[in-house]
Structure 1
């Protein structure tokens, strides 16, 4: 005799919940940070969110508000996406932060100044300037994980700050142009402060000398 219809529906519902849980556990959440109206929202998302759709991010992701003064040096091993409208908060979020896979989406038509961000350990960069230029998303592979020396141990000079051997300088003025992403690297740099004296933030974040750095400029 066939089981009652109500029992079949319960069985189907249970199987659906089980399948959804298995699928969700298999997904690695990505980090989304967006700045809007002097607030910073840090979100954990299980699915990609359309760029600059703040309402959808608040609905679909687990988000919390972070005070600007509470932003400290940290590291991101997975995907990090940042939506921004100007460069004021980006320096606090990214300067000398360890990020391997980064996407930056400009969510306004503002003209950005020629400022440089210093990012540690960057392997891949993606940018989206759709709010300013009708240009497709661009991607740039800086170096692969196999290029880094796994034996290199991070050194902590200041609380909450971790230096690295691969440093990328990102020219924020590139968001004003509709040209392709470009980069070049300099290897075996032993003293970043001496070789690049115009970057004043090395006074705030001193880098140890006599290390073999790989410096990449992205423009």
Structure 2
């Protein structure tokens, strides 16, 4: 076999580096899920770049979007970052109640203040909110817990396989989008029964179907 010339070696090196750069760029293009509601229509999008909040036209142009029917919504879990644009609490509840979401951004695309209603989300680690309502705090971020602090508990992928693990439940007060105060939270650990500890929650009986022995319940307001 003839030895590889310097020129051939140079071309092979350039080709190898090009493949590495392309692979690195592809890995950096992390898609995230965007769901937005508008005039009773729900659009589910996969986006490779951040879209300006509530810019529906840009989302339809830059993301891979499809229209879904309300009864076809899959509430199981979102493994990727999830952004939701919404205009009312009824549609927001339909999308998020009792859904597993780790990193969530919620944007209120309207100027009407929201009433006090509650949403329950499983496994929420980070929450970002943005609101067009004329409050003092339009954009805020809240970290509920970090993976590094709770490695032994971060096993929510097996939520339906192991009911004896710790379960993180976040309860959001929808009036927080009015922006009248800083985003706050408090957590209650070692909750053995949601119905007994928080009987005033309108849907607390929904938690009684599980046999889990220990919840961590975080109220966000």
Q: TM-score, normalised by structure 1?
A: 0.81
Distance (Å, rounded) in 1 between the aligned partners of 2:101 and 2:88: 20
Q: TM-score, normalised by structure 2?
A: 0.81
Tell me what 2:10 maps to. Answer: none
Q: Which one of the candidate residues 42, 45, 58 is aligned to 2:44?
A: 42
Aligned residues between the structures: 200
Name structure 1 gaps, 5 residues minimum. 1-15, 158-162
Deviation at 1:29, TM superposition (A): 0.1
Comparing 126-135 and 84-93, the one that deviates more: 126-135
Any idea what SS the aligned residue of 2:90 has? coil
Name structure 2 gaps, 5 residues minimum. 1-17
Distance (Å, rounded) in 2 between the aligned partners of 1:65 and 1:25: 27
Tell me what 1:185 maps to. Answer: 187
Deviation at 1:151, TM superposition (A): 5.9
Tell me what 1:155 maps to. Answer: 160
Cα distance change, pair 195–21 in 1 and its aligned pair in 2 (3 A): same
Q: Is the 8 A contact 1:34 1:42 kept in 2?
A: yes
Q: Is the 8 A contact 2:35 2:45 kept in 1?
A: yes
Distance (Å, rounded) in 1 between the aligned partners of 2:45 and 2:108: 17
Tell me what 1:127 maps to. Answer: 129
Any idea what SS the aligned residue of 2:119 has? strand
Any idea what SS the aligned residue of 2:58 has? helix
Distance (Å, rounded) in 1 between the aligned partners of 2:142 and 2:132: 17
Larger % of helix: which? Answer: 2
